[in-house]
Every structure is written in C-alpha cells, then in structure tokens.
C-alpha cells in the first residue's frame, strides 16, 4: 500500500515529466504505476487520499473472542504447560477432551504477545536417513547406541548404553557404565529381551560400527538369542537416527546437568528418571504426539479416536473457523527406511 505522501510525490514527478515533454504512459511506467491509477488519484483535481484504511470492515467470523484469547494465554503460561511448545500443548489438551485453538493459532498468539521465547533447549531439527528395515509392530526392530555423559572431572565420561524400539520409540533397555565393553552390551541385550518377553522371537538389532557392537562374543550372544544384527553404513554419521534423536532429546532437556555428573550412581539415577519421563510422559512428534508407552502397548488407537472426537465437536461448534478438514490424528501403519506410512 502506497502512503498518501508517496502518492503526492509520485503525481508531482509525473506532472513535472509531462511539463518537460514526456508522455503520460512512459512517465507512469517509470514509477511502476498504471495510467488508470494516476487518473484515479487526480480525478478530482487534488491528489485523492487512499480511502481503504477508512473503510469499516466486518469482523471475521473465525476471529477469537477476547475471552478465548485470554484462555489461550492463561493455558500456555500455566505450570503444566509453561515449558512446552504449542505442538506439545495442543495434543495434551486434546487428550483431556479440550480444544482451545489450532496449533498455528497458538503460535500466532504467542508471537503477537511477544511470548514466543524459546521453550527448552532444543536446537533446529536435522533431517536423517532411518535404517533400511521395516517395523509394523513393537519388538520387530530395535536400534541401540552408546553416548558419553560428562562427569564433573574434566576428561572423564560415563557411557550410556541404550536400546529403543523403532516402531514405538519406547526405551526397552538402558545401562550406564564407566567403560565400553562388549560384556556390558551382552548384559543389556539379554535384560531387554527378557523384560519384553521376546527371547527367541525374530528381532533385528540396528547399531553403528563401534567395537562393542561388532565384538565376536556379543555377536555370538545375538545369534543365540535369534537376533539379526544390522550395522550402519561405513562413514555415514546419521545412519542410526532413532538413537541419535533420542540422545539429542535427552541432552537438550532443561534438567540435563550440562556441567556433568558427580558420580556414576548419580548418572544412573538421572538416566532412570529421564527414561521414565521419555517413555511415559513425553509426547513424541514422530508418533503424532503420543507417548512411546502408549504406542508400544497398543493404547494409541483409543487416544487418537478421542482426539478426533474432540476436534469434530470443536468444528461442529464453530464451523466457520475450519476451512479444511480437522487435524489428522491417524498413526503410521509401519516405519521404514525413509518415513512412517
């Protein structure tokens, strides 16, 4: 929109050009306006002011009321949701049978109220290539890896061994030790298969090319348990994305002790609390914002049905606010190399 002062200046320049012999059309073209626009501006002699800002426009039917807007602000600032982003808040409310606004609307209001400060310590997502196997149910494909946890003493680290189910993102096993040994890996895989009650059943275990993963004794243990071992491609750093994404979530948690753990025991206690939060509380974006526990143990369909019902009620109440269908609360039927389907 051209301001009134710019409109006056443009007309003066065009008039000056015409007085010096220029034709109207080329003169208007130099300022990227049409002859018709120039004539409309000067129709009454003086330059006509823009009337568009003065027009009274009807209130959009989908505009939130002040009470609805206030409810959103109060909700996102409540203790339960203060550390969560809208993509986490909206599904949690749906699980309670509540709908206050769409995810995009909540983001918009936070921005308008200058409340869109970063919540948590997560960094920008990185696109990764998942493993090549397909999972259509829990306990078909597991991925595992080792990450180092800082200790108070500089240069000292504790090693977290962790196994996650590719289909549900459920942490099926973890242990923290002071060193990397194949014996620790053997102990963890035996413990995980027993806890899931799948000893002897077909299972694929994906890992990187670290020495504990490729040790002969560990491979022999996998063979005895009927587990097929699958390794990341050489020199491909992001070929174990589910484990890497989980470690990122862990280390960007607000409560993660970035200065290090004072002892092995403290590291184990913290990891135990994190695993409990991750499995039972964390709404995972990769599985449409349900918890890994809900996905792993078949509670997901009931939850998604309830969310769908909540959104259909909200649409029936204010159909003018919905230009398209309600949010897709379906779940992927399988997880393969490139995506969830």
Q: Model-level pTM?
A: 0.74
CA dist 309 and 332 (Å) reads 19
CA dist 325 and 122 (Å) reads 31
Q: Out of 193-197, 211-215, 294-298, which region has the weakest mean confidence (pLDDT)?
A: 211-215
At which residue do the structure tokens 């994190």 appear?
Answer: 274
At 284, is the secondary structure helix, strand, or coil? strand
Q: Which two tokens stand for residue 149?
A: 């946890």
List CB contacts of 125: < 8 A, sequence separation 6 or more.
Answer: none
Q: What is the pLDDT of residue 338?
A: 45
Q: Which two tokens stand for residue 339?
A: 């995506």
pLDDT at 313 over 80: yes
At 340, is the secondary structure helix, strand, or coil? strand
At which residue do the structure tokens 């096993």 appear?
Answer: 173
Predicted confidence (pLDDT) per residue in 120-172, tens digit: 555 555 554 544 678 899 999 999 999 999 999 989 999 999 999 999 999 99
CA dist 76 and 290 (Å) reads 19
């Amino acid at each position: 929109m051209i301001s009134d002062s710019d409109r006056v200046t443009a007309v003066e320049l065009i008039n000056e050009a015409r007085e010096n012999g220029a034709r109207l059309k080329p003169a208007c073209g130099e300022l990227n306006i049409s002859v018709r626009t120039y004539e409309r501006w000067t129709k009454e002699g003086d330059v006509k002011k823009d009337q568009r800002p003065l027009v009274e426009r009807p209130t959009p039917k989908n505009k939130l009321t002040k009470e609805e807007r206030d409810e959103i602000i109060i909700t996102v600032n409540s203790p339960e949701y203060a550390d969560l982003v809208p993509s986490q808040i909206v599904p949690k409310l749906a699980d309670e049978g509540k709908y206050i606004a769409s995810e995009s609307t909540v983001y918009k209001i936070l921005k308008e109220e200058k409340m869109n400060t970063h919540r948590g310590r997560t960094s920008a997502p990185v696109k990764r290539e998942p493993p090549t196997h397909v999972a259509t149910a829990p306990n078909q494909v597991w991925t595992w890896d080792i990450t180092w946890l800082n200790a108070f003493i500089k240069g000292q680290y504790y090693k977290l061994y962790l196994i996650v189910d590719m289909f549900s993102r459920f942490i099926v096993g973890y242990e923290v030790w002071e060193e990397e040994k194949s014996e620790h890996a053997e102990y963890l895989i035996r413990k995980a298969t027993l806890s899931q009650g799948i000893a002897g059943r077909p299972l694929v275990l994906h890992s990187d090319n670290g020495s504990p993963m490729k040790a002969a004794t560990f491979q022999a243990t996998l063979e005895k348990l009927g587990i097929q071992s699958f390794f990341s491609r050489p020199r491909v750093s992001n070929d174990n994305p589910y484990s890497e994404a989980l470690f990122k979530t862990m280390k960007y948690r607000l409560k993660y002790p970035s200065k290090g753990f004072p002892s092995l025991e403290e590291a184990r206690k913290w990891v135990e609390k994190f695993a409990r939060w991750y499995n039972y509380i964390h709404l995972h974006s990769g599985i449409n914002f349900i918890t890994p526990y809900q996905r792993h143990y078949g509670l997901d369909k009931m939850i998604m049905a309830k969310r769908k019902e909540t959104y259909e009620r909200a649409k029936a109440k204010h159909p003018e606010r919905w230009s398209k269908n309600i949010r897709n609360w379906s779940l992927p039927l399988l997880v393969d190399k490139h995506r969830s389907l």
